[in-house]
Chains A and B, each alone.
Chain A
Amino acid sequence: HALHIPHDEL
């Protein structure tokens, strides 16, 4: 299962 990591930082 590919876990999608949200990259909400810069």
Chain B
Amino acid sequence: MNVFRFLGDLSHLVAIVILLLKIWKTRSCSGISGRSQILFAIVFTTRYLDLFSNFISVYNTSMKIVYITCSYATVYLIYGKFKATYDFNHDTFRIEFLLVPSAILAFLVNHDFSPLEILWTFSIYLESVAILPQLFLVSKTGEAETITSHYLFALGSYRLLYLLNWLWRYFSQGFYDLIALLSGILQTVLYCDFFYLYISKVLKGKKLSLPA
């Protein structure tokens, strides 16, 4: 494991924990797209079905368990415990527009036509676009709390760091996985606009707000 991969995992973990803590401490999930969080729970579930059949390392197994547990806890906080604070009238992105094409593409373009492999591929495609309901919510309300911006920055950085990891692995081991690579590029590109706003506003102490 190289440093980019490790920092990527760390950044992913930081994002997930920031979101959970934000909701827990403020007793509110306003500004957070429950729909994106449902998609992330689906992503982790379909990707980590190999949890018991394919052992890689204690590190991998523990991270998978933490990611899955945290994503279900987040969904529970949004739709259960703090449902009263959920922005349901702004969180209106139609997730079937992401789920259906990801599923069709996973059947058509995969490494191996087997159930686990198709579900893994589906999770990669779905993850690449799963943040869209959240970005849609931010663009609809025109602003994001600073803590939500930190969450989005950490979550976006994770796949960017993975891209560097894949570049490293390609040159050091000749390893590459086109499905993960192309999806990772798409995923990172979707954050570009946000990265720009984050660096130009949030890091200078201003709240992230979009021009009207």
A residues neighboring B (CB under 8 Å): 2-10
Contact = CB atoms under 8 A, between A and B. Distances in A.
From DSSP, what is the main secondary structure of chain B's interface residues? helix
A2 B64 contact: no
A9 B117 contact: no
Contacts of B54: 7
Interface of B: 5, 9, 12, 47, 50, 54, 56, 60, 63-64, 67, 111-114, 117, 120, 162, 165, 177, 180
Nearest to B48: A10
DSSP class of A's interface residues: helix, strand, loop or mixed? loop
Contact of B50 (A2, A3, A7): A7
A6 B113 CA distance: 15
A6 to B, nearest CB: 8
A8 B60 contact: yes
B112 A9 contact: no
B5 A9 contact: yes
Given A2-B112, A5-B111, A5-B177, A10 B64 contact: yes
27 contacts: A2-B112, A2-B113, A2-B114, A3-B111, A3-B112, A4-B112, A5-B111, A5-B112, A5-B117, A5-B177, A6-B56, A7-B47, A7-B50, A7-B54, A7-B120, A8-B56, A8-B60, A9-B5, A9-B162, A9-B165, A9-B180, A10-B9, A10-B12, A10-B60, A10-B63, A10-B64, A10-B67
